[in-house]
Every structure is written in C-alpha cells, then in structure tokens.
Amino acid sequence: MLGLSQTTVSRALNGYPEVSDATRARVEAAARKHNYKANTRAKGLATGRAMAIAHVIPRASAHEMMNPVFADFIAGAGEIYAAAGYDMMLTMVQDRDEGRIYHELGAKRAVDGIIVHAPRKDDPRYDLLRATALPFVVHGRFSHVGDGYNWVDMNSRRAFERATSFLLDLGHRRIALLNGLEDMDFAIRRREGYCEALRRQGLVPAAELMWADEMTEFYGYDATLRMLDLRDPPTALLTSSLITALGVRRACSERGLRLGKDFSVISHDDDLSYFRNGAVVPDFTALRSPIRDHGRRAAAMLLRVIADPAATPQNELLEAEFNVGLSTGPAPLPVPSTFRAITP
C-alpha cells in the first residue's frame, strides 16, 4: 500500500533505527488506520519467542482452596505481562497429567516460560521442569531441593514464629494452629515457625491444638468449637487464612467469647482484593503478605530470567507485615477450676 518493502515496514513498526522518521510516521499511521497488528504466530515463528507465559495450576480436588489465591496472584502477574507485551496462558491440570503438560509446554514452544504454583512436599515437578528447557519461576519453594532454581516466596516460618511469639508475650500458653493442608510446602513452614516459637518458651506443641485442612470458613468454625470443648481449651489461635478466621470469629461469638478479650486470633492475610480485613484498624491482627504483589514479583523475575537465561538462579524471600488489630489481647486470667467445671 505504501510502496514500501516488508523489511521497511517491519523495521518501522519495531522501532529499529535504520528507518527515517518520516517513513516510520507514515507506516505507523497506516497501521493504526487499518488496525494492523503483526500476527502473533508469524512473529513468534520468525523470532523464536512466543511472548507468552504459562501458568500451570494444579486442579486436584484437595487444592481447590487455592483458587481465591490464584485469582489475585494472576491479577498481579497480569499487570507485569501487559506492560511488557506478554500474554498469559493458563492451564488447569489434573495431578496425574502434570508430567505430560510440562513436556508439552516445552515441546510445543508456545510459551517462553512457566510460573509454577502451589509447590508441595516432595513435589515431582522439579525434575519435570528441569527436563524441559523452559525457564521457570516457582511461587513458593520445593522443600526437598536447594535454591538452585528461581523462586518467590514469603518467609512463612519467620512470620508464624513471630505471630506465635507475640501471643506468648501476651501471656497465652495454650495457642492453637489452624493450618492449611500440610502437603503444601508453605503449610509445613508455617507449622515449623509456630513450633519453634513454642519450643523457645519451653512449651511442647500439643497435638490437639494443631489442625490442618482446607482453609474454609466452616473449618475455622468447627475446629474452634471442638477446641473450646477441650478440658484445657486454647486461649489464642493462629489461622492460615482470613476466611478461616471468619469461622473462628463465628464460633467465638456463638460461645459468647469476645475477640481480643476472651480469645485472641491472629490470621494470615493474603490481602485478597475481594476479602479485606477491616479498614483503618484491622478487625483481625494479621500477618499480611499481599499475594498480588507476589504475582508481580514472580512475573517480573521470570521476564528477567527469559531475558538473560544464563543468570544464576534468583530467589526472593518476602517478609510478611505484622499488623496488630482488634482480635488479640492479653491472655485472660485463668478461671478457677472449680468454676470451670460448672460450665457445660
């Protein structure tokens, strides 16, 4: 149309210097006018770069709970991709198909890199990913291998240790943990932090106070009620999810316990966009680690790795904020056992 060669048009549109400004302007105007955009597939074929990133999300029923977290993580990652001109490809995968999926992603060359979600204990994916030539970044860590790969993770251990110590300092001695499923790497680290803090105070973690399940509201409700029925119930509790904390609050309210007075709760808070923890003063004292920010960081890291594949593995360990809200307070004075015996 413009009487120019393909070469010139290509150079003009891709910002190469060997095109005169006048020509470039003409080309750009024409492209805009006719809504021309280089065909992604052809471009990818020619350049060898797909300009797309794959997110592989395990869809085993046991991990459905991860969904709300994925949504925010992906929103964060999406921001980075959009700014860099990358597309995001999403693959939901059944556990048993995982091996095949990673192989295919590598072979089909439809993406330039992979973000790996929800690493589990003894996760087989590490080897699978190594086998593909594609760069990858893990959100979380593989517990069974070193740091020889790229990851972004929060310091779960430190966070839960800190929160537990906070409760200990308030005088609590019976502190419960409502953890997520412990085949997830992050859940294991959280428990370690919790146990560590207790041990440093000379306390032994009590089996009846340590729970692990999908982080639903009902789980928080149910587990709390059961523990309140123990002979020696907890006076405080840590939970791995704000949703679960809602269940805890419901259970307490049902038993007439005031949060922050009669019973203390610290929650982990992924800062999900649609599930905020109070406004100015948070309802819940919480460890906050914005999952959307994790998404941004992981995406940015992956793009860096793609740009420089020879770089040494990158690791980002993020510390959680600790925000004191209304759900924690000093341990209530011990109730005389004679009195306690009377309560149902």
Partner DNA sequence: CCGGGCGGCCAAAGCGCTTTGACTGATCCG
Partner DNA sequence: CGGATCAGTCAAAGCGCTTTGGCCGCCCGG
Residues in touch with its own copies (CB under 8 A): 35-42, 44-45, 50, 52, 59, 64-68, 70-72, 74-75, 78-79, 82, 87-93, 103-104, 106-110, 214-218, 243, 246, 249-250, 253-254, 272-276, 278-279
**In this structure, which long-range contacts are made by residues 194-202, counting pairs with CB atoms below 8 Å and at least 24 apart in sequence?**
194/160, 194/161, 194/164, 194/238, 196/157, 196/161, 197/160, 197/161, 197/162, 197/164, 197/165, 197/168, 198/164, 198/168, 200/165, 201/168
46 vs 317, beta carbon nearer DNA: 46
Name the strand (E) or helix (H) holding 49: none
Q: How far apart are CA 222 and CA 225, in angstroms?
A: 5
Q: Which of 282, 242, 291, 238 is nearest to 264 (CA)?
A: 238
Q: What angle do CA 60, 157, 163 make, to 5 degrees?
A: 110
Q: Which of 100, 91, 102, 89 is nearest to 57 (CA)?
A: 91
Q: Is there binding between residue 307 and DNA (CB under 7 A)?
A: no
Q: Which of 179, 185, 193 is nearest to 116 (CA)?
A: 185
Nearest approach, Cβ of residue 303 and DNA (Å): 17
Residue 29 contact partner, candidates its own copies, DNA, none, CB within 5 to 8 A by sort of partner? none
**Chain centre distance of CA 8:** 45
Q: What DSSP character marks residue 263? A: B
Q: Is there binding between residue 328 and DNA (CB under 7 A)?
A: no
| Contact call for residues 210 and 164 (beta carbons, < 8 A) | no
47 vs 201, beta carbon nearer its own copies: 47
Residue 79 contact partner, candidates its own copies, DNA, none, CB within 5 to 8 A by sort of partner? its own copies
Nearest approach, Cβ of residue 158 and DNA (Å): 45
Q: Which of 326, 167, 159 is nearest to 235 (CA)?
A: 167
Contacting DNA within 40-99 (CB under 7 A): 42-43, 45-48
47 vs 253, beta carbon nearer DNA: 47
Nearest approach, Cβ of residue 62 and its own copies (Å): 11
Nearest approach, Cβ of residue 8 and DNA (Å): 3
Residue 68 contact partner, candidates DNA, its own copies, none, CB within 5 to 8 A by sort of partner? its own copies
Residue 216 contact partner, candidates its own copies, DNA, none, CB within 5 to 8 A by sort of partner? its own copies
Size of the site for DNA (CB under 7 A): 26
**Beta bridge pairs of residue 115:** 55, 137
Q: Which of 30, 29, 9, 31 is nearest to 18 (CA)?
A: 9
93 vs 203, beta carbon nearer its own copies: 93
Q: How many CA atoms lie within 13 A of 76 on its CB side?
A: 22
Residue 214 contact partner, candidates DNA, its own copies, none, CB within 5 to 8 A by sort of partner? its own copies
246 vs 302, beta carbon nearer its own copies: 246
Residues 111, 115, 120, 125: is their CA dihedral positive or negative?
Answer: positive
Q: Is there binding between residue 201 and DNA (CB under 7 A)?
A: no
- Among 39, 94, 201, 253, which residue interacts with DNA (rule: CB under 7 A)? 39
Q: Is there binding between residue 20 and DNA (CB under 7 A)?
A: yes
Residue 13 contact partner, candidates DNA, its own copies, none, CB within 5 to 8 A by sort of partner? DNA
Q: Is there binding between residue 6 and DNA (CB under 7 A)?
A: yes
Beta pairing, strands 321-323 & 285-288 = antiparallel
Nearest approach, Cβ of residue 16 and DNA (Å): 7
Q: Is there binding between residue 7 and DNA (CB under 7 A)?
A: yes
Nearest approach, Cβ of residue 87 and its own copies (Å): 5
Q: Which residues bind DNA (CB under 7 A)?
A: 3-11, 13-14, 18-23, 36, 38-39, 42-43, 45-48
